[in-house]
């Protein structure tokens, strides 16, 4: 079976799925969502209650700076061990899962769950690896996320990989053959997350999927790119690199930590929408922030003009700053260094917010402000990665927050 995928960085995996539980309570959204909306996670907590759930196997990013984070991490690891001991999870050996996710807008996103070889991925250097990092990492988020994963017996994926399959041959094939596959699950996701169904690929489907994947990814200079979950994959890579230091090189291939589960999808999928990630500042004087942006660039001015247009909103109103003749190709690359320096010198806090309405609502609150950034064009993403390498951190997102990947599958990493 594995020979079909020889030379490919995305391959079948020993995938764990829950059994004997309410799937609607088991599956929760990616941990890096709703970081400035604790009420969301409170609703999830109340809905899940004492039921088995991936909520007990992750740590929402909003909790990483909490006073009990060390205890929370121990609880997560202990719950993973308990679920394994209780046979809460069944194994699909050497498997791939075809997934159809009906999103909140009614469109269906199609994907394929397998594992990524972390030897073929690098998040720091932006080198021409088979699996390209697309965005820089928020370094402050690395140590606490590593602390969550480093002793965990399981991983749960929310990373989404992209291929640029212009004819959509891989997902069209899998969609057409799903009636021949073993149904694994089908249910409604919580919190307006839509509907999800999954099927296990049979041997013939694995062989054909490998053939199509090999053909598609050999056509361009960028084969695979991280669409969502850049930080999750970077943390997996960091933990793997730490394990390599204590293992002979001839053992690296067999380290479970060398691989990370992910869902592969097509950049050209009709449902896939590339959304901007907005910047919201907390505990700042908006006029001071705006003055800092104006002062940072020669000729920058309030109002619309030629160049990078940086839209903002705060309790006192909204508007635009134009930066003429920018040095970079992306508005976020122009804005981010200024905001970083402002926070470092003047204080306050910055968050990365998904969704226009959420960013606007937070930005309008007294003492806050938001910069609303434009979205990338879908067809520009792979050429941009090829040309510029790793993009600024949190440059883009796939879909709205409630359409992000939900935790469902797991895999042993120890």
The answer to the question of residue 283 being in a domain is yes
Q: Please check whether residues 182 and 319 belong to one and the same domain.
A: no
- 8 A C-beta contact, residue 10 and residue 213: yes
- Same-domain pairing of 265 and 300: no
Band the pLDDT of 123: cuts 50, 70, 90.
confident
The contacts of residue 283 (CB under 8 Å, 6+ apart) are 347, 348, 349, 367, 368
Asked whether residue 333 is assigned to any structural domain, the reply reads yes
- 105 found inside a domain: yes
Tokens of 208: 């054909």
On the question of pLDDT at 127 being above 70, the answer is: no
User: Where does residue 401 fall: left (phi above 0), alpha (psi -120 to 50 degrees), or beta otherwise?
Assistant: alpha
DSSP 123: S
pLDDT tens for residues 21-52? 999 999 999 998 998 888 999 999 999 999 99
Question: Are 332 and 395 spatial neighbours (Cβ–Cβ below 8 Å)?
Answer: yes
Q: In the prediction, which pLDDT does 134 show?
A: 86
- The answer to whether residue 395 is domain-embedded is no
On whether the CB atoms of residues 368 and 315 are closer than 8 A, the answer is yes
Averaged pLDDT score across all residues of the chain:
93
Residues 153 and 240 in one domain: yes
Asked whether residue 359 falls in the same domain as residue 215, the answer is no
Look up the pTM and report it. Answer: 0.86
DSSP string, 205-221: HHHHHHHHHHHHHTSSS
The three-class DSSP label of residue 350 is strand
Same-domain pairing of 294 and 358: yes
CATH code (residue 340): 3.30.1760.10
Asked, for residue 151, whether it belongs to a domain, the answer is yes
- How far is it, in rounded angstroms, from Cα 45 to Cα 190? 12
Q: Are residues 367 and 228 in the same domain?
A: no
Q: Are residues 43 and 172 in the same domain?
A: yes
Residue 130: give the domain boundaries.
2-273+400-412
Quick one: 222 and 370 in the same domain? no
3-state SS class at 199: strand
Question: Does 167 reside within a domain?
Answer: yes
Residue 239 pLDDT > 90? yes
| 153 and 268 housed in the same domain | yes
Q: Same domain, yes or no, for 338 and 211?
A: no
Q: How many CB atoms lie within 10 A of CB 157?
A: 26
What is the pLDDT, as a whole number, of residue 1? 47
pLDDT > 70? residue 55:
yes
- For residue 324, the 8-state DSSP code is S
Q: Rounded to 10 degrees, what is the CA torsion of 264, 113, 96, 125? A: 60
pLDDT of residue 282 exceeding 80: yes
CA distance 332 to 279: 9
In angstroms, the CA 335 to CA 323 distance is: 10
Secondary element (H or E) of residue 91: strand 89-95
Q: Is residue 131 part of a domain?
A: yes
Question: Does some domain include residue 380?
Answer: no
Q: Is the pLDDT of residue 140 over 80?
A: no
Lowest mean pLDDT among 67-76, 108-117, 314-323: 67-76
Torsion angle (degrees, nearest 10) of CA 328, 331, 333, 334: 80
The answer on 293 and 260 residing in a single domain is no
More confident residue, 113 or 398: 113
* Domain count within the chain: 2
Contacts of 233 (CB under 8 A, 6+ apart): 116, 118, 121, 123, 133, 159, 226, 260, 262
Same domain, 168 and 219: yes
* DSSP, res 308: E
CA atoms within 13 A on the CB side of 92: 24
């Amino acid at each position: 079976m594995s020979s079909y995928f020889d030379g490919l960085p995305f391959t079948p995996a020993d995938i764990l799925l829950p059994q004997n539980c309410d799937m609607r309570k088991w599956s929760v959204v990616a941990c890096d969502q709703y970081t400035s909306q604790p009420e969301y996670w409170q609703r999830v907590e109340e809905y899940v209650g004492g039921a088995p759930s991936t909520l007990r196997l992750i740590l929402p990013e909003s909790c990483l700076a909490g006073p009990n984070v060390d205890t929370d991490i121990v609880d997560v690891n202990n719950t993973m061990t308990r679920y394994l001991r209780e046979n809460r999870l069944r194994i699909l050996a050497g498997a791939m899962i075809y997934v159809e996710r009906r999103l909140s807008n009614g469109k269906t996103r199609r994907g394929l769950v397998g594992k990524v070889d972390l030897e073929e991925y690098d998040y720091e250097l932006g080198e021409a690896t088979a699996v390209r990092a697309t965005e820089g990492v928020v370094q402050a988020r690395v140590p606490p996320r590593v602390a969550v994963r480093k002793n965990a017996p399981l991983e749960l994926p929310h990373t989404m990989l992209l291929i640029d399959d212009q004819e959509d041959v891989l997902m069209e094939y899998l969609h057409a053959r799903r009636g021949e596959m073993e149904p694994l699950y089908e249910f409604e996701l919580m919190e307006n997350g839509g509907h999800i169904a999954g099927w296990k690929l049979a041997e013939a489907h694995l062989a054909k999927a490998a053939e199509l994947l090999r053909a598609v990814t050999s056509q361009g200079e960028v084969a695979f790119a991280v669409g969502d979950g850049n930080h999750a994959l970077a943390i997996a890579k960091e933990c793997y690199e730490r394990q390599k230091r204590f293992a002979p090189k001839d053992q690296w291939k067999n380290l479970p930590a060398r691989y990370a589960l992910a869902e592969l999808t097509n950049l050209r999928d009709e449902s896939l929408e590339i959304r901007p990630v907005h910047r919201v500042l907390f505990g700042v004087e908006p006029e001071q922030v705006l003055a800092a942006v104006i002062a940072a660039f020669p000729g920058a001015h309030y109002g619309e003009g030629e160049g990078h247009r940086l839209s903002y909103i705060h309790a006192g109103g909204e508007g635009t700053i134009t930066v003429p003749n920018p040095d970079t190709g992306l508005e976020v690359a122009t804005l981010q260094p200024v905001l970083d320096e402002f926070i470092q010198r003047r204080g306050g806090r910055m968050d990365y917010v998904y969704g226009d309405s959420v960013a606007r609502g937070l930005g309008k609150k007294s003492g806050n402000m938001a910069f609303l950034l434009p979205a990338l064009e879908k067809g520009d993403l792979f050429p941009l990665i090829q040309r510029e390498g790793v993009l600024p951190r949190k440059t883009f997102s796939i879909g709205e927050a409630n359409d992000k990947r939900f935790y469902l599958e797991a895999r042993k990493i120890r």
